[in-house]
Amino acid sequence: MATTQRVVVDPITRIEGHLRIEAETDVDGRILKAYSAGTMVRGIEIILRGRDPRDAWAFAQRICGVCTLVHGVASVRSVEDALHRAIPGYALPPNAELIRNLMIAAQHVHDHVMHFYHLHALDWVDVVSALKADPRAASTLAQSISDYSRSSPGYFADVQRKVKTFVEQGQLGIFANGYWGHPAYKLPPEANLMALAHYLDALAWQREVVKLHAIFGGRNPHPNFVVGGVPSAISVFPTEGRGKGPHYRGGQDATAVNMVGLQTVQTVIRQMREFVDQVYLPDTLAIARYYKDWAGRGEGLGNFLSFGDLPSKGFWDTDSYFIPRGVILDRDLTRVHPIDLDDDKEIQEFVSHSWYRYEGGDAQGLHPFKGETALNYTGPKPPYEQLDVAQKYSWMKSPRWKGKSMEVGPLARVLVMVAKGDKQAKELVDRALKTLDLPVTALYSTLGRTAARTLESKILADAMQGWFDQLMANIKAGDLRTFNEKYWDPSTWPAHMQGVGLMEAPRGGLAHWIVVDDGRISNYQAVVPSTWNAGPRDAAGQPGAYEAALQHNHTMLDPKQPIEILRTIHSFDPCIACAVHVVDPDGEELVQVKVK
């Protein structure tokens, strides 16, 4: 009789996803080993070669439709960094930086709310149980935790009626395929109903808050960017807009930010803060109360990396970052290690367990400036019955910092903020732990990862107001500059240059590395948050962050309904389109959860 069994979840849904998890468990369902495989490859790094670096952002941004702007920002920053290295004093106008900060922070808050309600909540919230709730009890509960205006018994009765109609007609739609009734669901029916109502509200809220991107970047998803600033020309007139108005400034006038637009931005910031304060934060704490066992599960690597972001004195003044840069090792918050981007021993990518081959052999790690991406591996690949984990088993590479696996994302950022003495971050973390009566070690867990995302949303939504006020002050003082036109022309560039565009994307530290020769891209490497987290083992056998987290204290109640795996993997907010960005033409999609 077999002593272990293998549970395969492929694909893990409710993400942008081509992610396969295989877990080896003992007969009691306890996970002994876990393997994470990216099963798709799209080749964006390859198609960027030979192109104009000023166009790269538009291609790179198509890596993902979830974190819709981050690859655009990282890409223009990579070119700007190359220019900054080559041309002393190269800088962006302050307004460009403020507008980028607003767009980046808006992306985080939007993405985090969407992740919590639409991608992660149903791991914790039982939709079918919500139908049994007493709307008056849901109203009492909601009013006890928040001042949110939509909390009357009638409101909850309406939501219940709406969802009941779907269920009775067999049209669960967005709620199909849940493990409803699974014993791992612990919320009382009224809490399920409250969360379900907020799931629907968050959909409507999203539609409003994307306007910020549309105003500054012309559209969402995939707002526009430009090397040297932002493509939004500011107009001090109320409604002057698109097209060739009196302030038309050539191609840069893709959108004009007028006073009506800026008022809408102010409204969006208010809507973001209200939803985070009145809905997202209280819901996170209310739901977490019932899942405190998940504060002792999914601990993961204990190593955290943040590139930092949101500068106030320019991208190159890392001390001016609102989210600081640094590395935490072994959960030691007394020390934040610096990151040297140019030391080729620090950041490296390994392919010993990835479906690639390095020209100089697969045992080595390559620094991204010298990184290689080629569809040159000819050994066994998908489709597969079972991953050959002793060999190569993922389209993702394995990024490492000084040879170590790192977790990136909201938890890493919040920990680096706390370790660096950020007051608001520390207060929020302390208050959350106190409210839940949990020790500090609870942060290093599936629950901690999810809670950190909420706390970070609060921190960022609040900070947006400051950048907006500064932008308005600059405009009132007559500074309308949003674009550095100097050095736009590649004939002003050196023959060879290279740079790295770093940012904090919602899922973690993101880096685009560019090498430019004679005005054309000769190498482009994206080292992406979900690659750090979801990548496979490296040459030394060290697991990636997902793998490590699943190997910590998970026992499945029913391996045919592996909700425990979903909870921990979703706590990272995976996005595999980002992580692999190279589609396998022969790949067969296995859409079933399989238990062997």
CB of 79 to ligand NFE, least distance (A): 17
| CB nearer ligand NFE, residue 84 or residue 512 | 512
Beta strands in 473-554 (DSSP E): 496-505, 508-517, 520-527
Query: Which is the catalytic residue, given 18, 20, 67, 504?
Result: 67
Q: Is 578 assigned a ligand-binding role in the annotation?
A: yes
CB of 402 to ligand NFE, least distance (A): 21
d(CA 187, CA 289): 9
Query: Which is the catalytic residue, given 16, 22, 80, 97?
Result: 16
- Per CB under 6 A, does 10 bind ligand NFE? no
The stretch near ligand NFE (CB under 6 A) out of 189-197, 339-347, 504-512, 513-521 is 504-512
d(CA 435, CA 191): 17
Query: Which is the catalytic residue, given 18, 71, 100, 570?
Result: 71
C-alpha closest to that of 348 among 385, 402, 294, 288: 402
| Single residue of 12, 19, 37, 67 touching ligand NFE by CB under 6 A | 67
Tokens of 388: 């050959």
Is residue 501 helix, strand or coil? Answer: strand
Q: Establish whether 578 is a catalytic residue.
A: yes
Q: Establish whether 507 is a catalytic residue.
A: yes
Judged by beta carbon distances under 5 to 8 A according to partner kind, the member of ligand NFE, Mg ion, none in contact with residue 578 is ligand NFE
Residues between 522 and 551 with contacts to ligand NFE, criterion CB under 6 A: 528-530
Q: Establish whether 353 is a catalytic residue.
A: no
The neighbour count for residue 25, using CB atoms within 10 Å, is 21
Judged by beta carbon distances under 5 to 8 A according to partner kind, the member of Mg ion, ligand NFE, none in contact with residue 8 is none
Judged by beta carbon distances under 5 to 8 A according to partner kind, the member of ligand NFE, Mg ion, none in contact with residue 106 is none
Q: Is 588 assigned a ligand-binding role in the annotation?
A: no
Residue 232 has phi, psi (to 5 degrees) of -100, 120
What is the total count of residues that contact ligand NFE (CB under 6 A)?
A: 16
Q: Establish whether 530 is a catalytic residue.
A: yes
Q: Is 485 assigned a ligand-binding role in the annotation?
A: no
CB of 526 to ligand NFE, least distance (A): 8
Q: Establish whether 520 is a catalytic residue.
A: no
Give, for 194, the enclosing helix (H) or strand (E). Answer: helix 189-209
Partners of 515 in beta bridges = 498, 523
d(CA 395, CA 404): 20
DSSP letter, residue 520? E
Q: Establish whether 235 is a catalytic residue.
A: no
d(CA 513, CA 31): 37
Q: Transcribe 29-76 into DSSP letters.
A: -BEEEEEEEE-----HHHHTTTS-GGGHHHHHGGG-SSSTTHHHHHHH
- Per CB under 5 A, does 526 bind Mg ion? yes
The stretch near ligand NFE (CB under 6 A) out of 46-54, 59-67, 196-204, 306-314 is 59-67
What is the Cα Rg of the chain in Å?
24
| CB nearer ligand NFE, residue 133 or residue 575 | 575
Q: Establish whether 485 is a catalytic residue.
A: no
Residues between 554 and 593 with contacts to ligand NFE, criterion CB under 6 A: 575, 577-579
Q: Is 45 assigned a ligand-binding role in the annotation?
A: yes
Q: Transcribe 91-146 into DSSP letters.
A: ---HHHHHHHHHHHHHHHHHHHHHIIIIIIGGGT--HHHHTTS-HHHHHHHHHHH-
The stretch near ligand NFE (CB under 6 A) out of 64-72, 162-170, 305-313, 362-370 is 64-72
CB of 412 to ligand NFE, least distance (A): 12
DSSP letter, residue 317? -
Q: Transcribe 327-377 into DSSP letters.
A: EE-TT-TT--B---SS-TTTEEEE-TTBS---TT-TTS-B-GGG----S--
| CB nearer ligand NFE, residue 70 or residue 127 | 70
d(CA 215, CA 260): 10
| CB nearer ligand NFE, residue 433 or residue 451 | 451
Partners of 500 in beta bridges = 513
Q: Is 67 assigned a ligand-binding role in the annotation?
A: yes
Q: Establish whether 67 is a catalytic residue.
A: yes
C-alpha closest to that of 74 among 574, 391, 527: 527
- Per CB under 6 A, does 70 bind ligand NFE? yes
Report how far apart, in Å, the C-alpha atoms of 253 and of each of 129, 245, 250, 482, 595 are: 52, 9, 6, 11, 56
Judged by beta carbon distances under 5 to 8 A according to partner kind, the member of ligand NFE, Mg ion, none in contact with residue 579 is ligand NFE
Answer yes or no: are the C-beta atoms of 308 and 316 closer than 8 Å. Answer: no
| CB nearer ligand NFE, residue 240 or residue 309 | 309
Judged by beta carbon distances under 5 to 8 A according to partner kind, the member of Mg ion, ligand NFE, none in contact with residue 449 is none
The stretch near ligand NFE (CB under 6 A) out of 36-44, 75-83, 502-510, 547-555 is 502-510
CB of 44 to Mg ion, least distance (A): 9
- Binding site listing for Ni(2+): 64, 67, 575
Interface residue list for Mg ion (CB under 5 A): 526
Interface residue list for ligand NFE (CB under 6 A): 16, 64, 66-67, 70, 505-507, 510, 528-530, 575, 577-579
Active site residues: 16, 64, 67, 71, 507, 530, 575, 578
